[in-house]
Amino acid sequence: MFTALLIEQLLNGLQLGVMLFLMAAGLTLIFGVMGLINLAHGSLYMIGAFACATVAAATGSFWIGLIASLAAAAGVGAIIEVAVIRRLYDRDHLDQVLATFALILILSEGARWLFGSFPLYLDIPPLLQGAVPLPGGGQYQLYRLAIIGVGIAVAVGLYLLISGTRLGMRIRAGESDREMIGALGVDIGTLYTVVFALGAALAGLAGALVGALQSVQVGMGEPVLILAFVVIVIGGIGSIKGALVGAVIVGVVDTMGRFLLPSMLALAMPASQATTIGAALASMLIYVVMALILAFRPSGLFSAQS
Amino acid sequence: MSRETTINLLFALLLLGAPLLAAGMGEPFYVTLATRVVVLALAAVGLNLALGLGGLLSFGHAAFFGLGGYVAGILATHAFNAEPLIAGIPATTSMPLIWITAVVVAGLVALPIGAISLRTSGVYFIMITLAFAQMIYYFAISWPAYGGEDGLSLSVRNAFPGVNTAKPLPYFLICYAALMAALLLFRVVEGSRFGSALQAARQNGTRLAAVGIEPFNIRLVAFAVSAMITGLAGALYADLNRFVGPSMMSWHMSGELIVLIILGGKGRLFGPVAGAMIFVLFEYVLGGITERWQFFLGLILLGIVLFARGGLLGLLSGKPRHV
Amino acid sequence: MSEPVLEIRDLRKSFGALKATDGVSLELHPGQIHALIGPNGAGKSTLIHQIAGSLRADSGTIRFLGQDIGGLDMAARARLGLARSFQISSLAQEFSALRNVMLAVQARQGSSFRFLRQVTDDKDLTEPAMAMLERVDLAARAHVPAAELSHGERRQLEIAIALALSPKAFLFDEPMAGMGPEGSKRLTSFLDGLRHEAPMLLVEHDMDAVFALADRISVFVYGRIIATGTVDEIRGDPEVRRAYLGEAA
């Protein structure tokens, strides 16, 4: 029974990691290509979730909702990029932080205006309801497995995109030498908008997928955004590979910590105390891991700039 | 007297005069509003030391603000229940003792966080300070002994010898005095040898190292001192609201502290004061008109960042003087 | 012969496949000006960076005043008495010229953790700093922000900062660059006098200055020293003429 529980928790960790990867990949891409720190990335996640929940409720189809989430997040991302973000590329980090912080305020309050303060709910599509048996007894939600699958597919897709396509070549050129791609005759403005919209779409996808597991509400993006920052810090800014490895580390460490720490502490202290202390320590665990990794590698595991 | 000094003096008098007038007219609400301005300004003065002088964009100062608040809340709760803290040390409701504890705790927590964060720079520094603050935030939420998610209420405001702190005006004056003391400290530190080194570290860290001063050490001390001032503000904030909760430590609070500085003018002595006045005014006026005031705050902030760099003091007193 | 102030043995540094420093050894003796010459990209600045501590060598030793300084960071090396100027001038741009020098005076006094006394009326800082500015003829511009100084004035300021450290050795990376003939001439005679305060490692492209100043010259090509000697030896060395000075020289 313990084995089954362990496998289940590992899968949960992986699922969290995959979702964080969708967020972190966009953030790290945007930072790598445009040198921009985007605090409003969590808002795009929220937009994806709201779009999916609203459209799914109206049409009765999760899948149309999913497409809507991609379109809405990419669309809002592109609008934001053109209206605000492109004025920030040659500004310092302080201006970027402030302007994207302002965007969070606008988008969060805007969402509250449109959708109200009550959470929306999104059902798991019928196709993915149910569970699959795990080795050692126990079952696992099919939908969560599907999220893991989507994450792996996105990781492979991004790899192919960046290593094998014209757009990818331009992205790589943009990461290594911004002036060169201008000289190559690439329209940088369009490239940046496309990259930003791509990152936004990934965040929107993550929001929509998670929307069926949790409630959809204003402010849902920020905790995920901060975890995605931890992922990027661990993985190394600008590195997609780093984002993947960092996301899996954070997802698994966080989930396993919450699962294992209370029971490990229970060996040494009364159970009730072990639960509270274990939970409190587990909530800090990934930050401790981050600190340890930084102590040895100040620019992350796969730093693009080293 | 330079133009900026005159303007600073006007702000200081306005901030003192308005609540005195309000108290005279029997409007304690406005006294409390002014106290809120003062305490937020104090928190931002702390951050301004790191951000304005040292160029350290900490997105985690809410952690120190909250720690200061929790020190006040925890000490008061223990004192109220007549429980000793640990190892028989008695708790206290004396503000001066609480302040000292808050300052020491904020400084002690800031040292390891700073030591790790300052190994990096730029975007890493922003994200890491944010992450550490979030760690402390989650710890506060999941630690049930002091209210967890619900926070802690203080049944009465803590005590200051010879002052009736329960009344709005005396408490305002205490906070105002603390703010003025912090501003004086900021001005003195800015002009000191340490302040020179700190500003040089912001302008050109390599130059500082090349003359034999470790930028890391200078920045670490600045980060800790900055956290201590913000921690003191947190203790005052807890007493102002007679409540402390995890929201004081949220990333949103960290963002607001930065916003205060930018609204007022980064690196300027009275920048945080002007910024806090505008911010609380926005909150109050806009908040009175619409529930969605943060939407408009966002728009205004965006406009300032994109088109009006330099903040209110930049607008009023022109370019900062060179020394 | 006297003990060398600075002694470098078999220093190596690679960037990927590029050997920027390929087994360099040299000595700097008291009273000497030792010039490093060579074409651009030969690794002269990379060597200065490794000596000053802003780059770490892959292997080899750097001894300064008899002490191995390879493990020390830049600030620690500066405190031992290595004063450098930068190829591209590196100043606290918002500070006045005077405050830039005051920072060096403060660093030499080892007193950066003082929080109360105001530097602007601290004669222990202002007077020595002003004296340094006077030495480099920059006193009249003492209160001008570094960002508003002319190119030549910034180079003078760099030197004033180095002087203020009372160093045991100077590392100067192209101090004459962009100075113009008149400025170069003045700076040359100024540097000539400095050798009695501390020996100097001088990277310089201005050959008139190098030949006028240097007691010894090392010629760099592709990360190696191909010849070391006095001015006359270097001028007469056929390999140097071929590799660097060109037959016309």
Per-residue pLDDT of B289-319, as tens digits, reads: 888 888 998 998 898 888 876 677 777 776 6
The pLDDT of residue A238: 82
With CA atoms as reference, report the closest residue to A49 among A34, A66, A33: A66
Could you tell me if residue A236 is inside a domain? no
How many domains are contained in chain A? Answer: 1
pLDDT at C152 over 90: no
| A and C touch per CB criterion (3+ pairs under 8 A) | no
- Which whole number is the average pLDDT over B124-139? 92
Q: Is the pLDDT of residue A271 over 90?
A: no
Residue A279 lies in a domain: no
Residue A199 lies in a domain: yes
B211 contacts C92? CB cut-off 8 A: no
- The answer for C 145-174 residues in CB contact with B (under 8 A) is 145, 161, 165
| Band of residue B1 on the pLDDT scale cut at 50, 70, 90 | low
Exposure string of A126-148, with b = 16+ CB inside 10 Å and e = fewer, is eeeeeeeebeeeeebbebbbbbb
Residue B264's alpha-carbon distances to B12, B110, B126, B315, in angstroms, are 14, 25, 21, 9
Structural domain including A128 reads 2-219
Contact: B191, C120; criterion CB under 8 Å: yes
Residue B56 near residue B199, CB atoms below 8 Å: no
Q: Is residue A66 part of a domain?
A: yes
In B, which residues are within 8 Å of A87 by CB distance? Answer: 306
Say whether C161 and B203 touch across the interface (CB within 8 A).
Answer: no
Q: Is residue A293 part of a domain?
A: no
Q: Which of B123, B299, B302 sits opposite A37 (nearest CB)?
A: B123
| Mean model confidence pLDDT for chain C | 90
Please determine, for residue B73, whether its predicted confidence score (pLDDT) is greater than 50. yes
- ipTM of model: 0.90
Kindly list the distances between the CA atom of residue B110 and the CA atoms of B68, B183, B198, C149, C182, in Å, as whole numbers in the listed order.
12, 21, 17, 39, 53
pLDDT tens-digit map of B167-218: 999 999 999 999 999 999 999 999 999 999 999 999 999 999 999 999 999 9
Q: What local confidence, expressed as pLDDT, does residue B244 receive? A: 95
Average pLDDT over residues A221-244: 90
Structural domain boundaries in chain C: 1-81+168-249, 91-166
Whether the per-residue pLDDT at A187 is higher than 80: the answer is no
Higher pLDDT, C166 or C41: C166
Q: Which residues of C touch B221 (CB under 8 A)?
A: 113
How confident is the model at residue A181, as a pLDDT?
Answer: 65
Quick one: pLDDT at residue B319? 61
Domains in chain B, CATH or no CATH each: 3-317 (1.10.3470)
Closest chain B CA to residue C143: B323
Average pLDDT over residues A184-205: 88
> Cβ(B53)–Cβ(B127) under 8 Å?
no
> What is the distance between the alpha carbons of residues B204 and B54, in angstroms, rounded to a whole number?
11
**B128 with A294: Cβ contact below 8 A:** yes
Instruction: Report pLDDT for C248.
Output: 45
* C6 neighbors C28 (Cβ within 8 angstroms): yes
Q: Phi and psi at residue B88, in whole multiples of 5°?
A: 75, 5
A126-157 confidence digits (pLDDT tens): 888 888 887 777 788 899 999 999 999 999 99
Range C228-248 average pLDDT: 77
Average pLDDT of the residues of chain A: 88
CATH code of the domain made up of C1-81+168-249: 3.40.50.300
Residue C104: per-residue pLDDT: 95
The pLDDT mean for chain B works out to 91
Position A270 in a domain: no
List the structure tokens of B125.
Answer: 């520094």
pLDDT (average), residues C7-27: 91
User: Once rounded to an integer, what is the mean pLDDT over residues B68-91?
Assistant: 86
pLDDT digits (tens, 9 = 90+) for A22-40: 999 999 999 888 889 999 9
Neighbors of chain C by Cβ distance (3+ pairs < 8 Å):
B
More confident residue, A68 or A298: A68
The side-by-side arrangement of strands in the sheet containing C224-229 is C82-85, C169-173, C200-203, C33-37, C216-221, C224-229
Question: C-chain residues within 8 Å CB-CB of B203?
Answer: 92-95
pLDDT, position C246: 56
Ranking A175-179, A200-204, B13-17, C63-67 by mean pLDDT, the lowest is: A175-179
**C48-88 pLDDT per residue, tens:** 999 999 999 999 999 999 999 999 999 999 999 999 988 77
Separation CA B83–CA B62 (nearest Å): 28
Q: Is the pLDDT of residue A41 over 90?
A: yes
Integer-rounded Cα radius of gyration of chain C: 18
* Tens digit of each residue's pLDDT (9 = 90 or more) over A103-118: 999 999 999 999 988 8
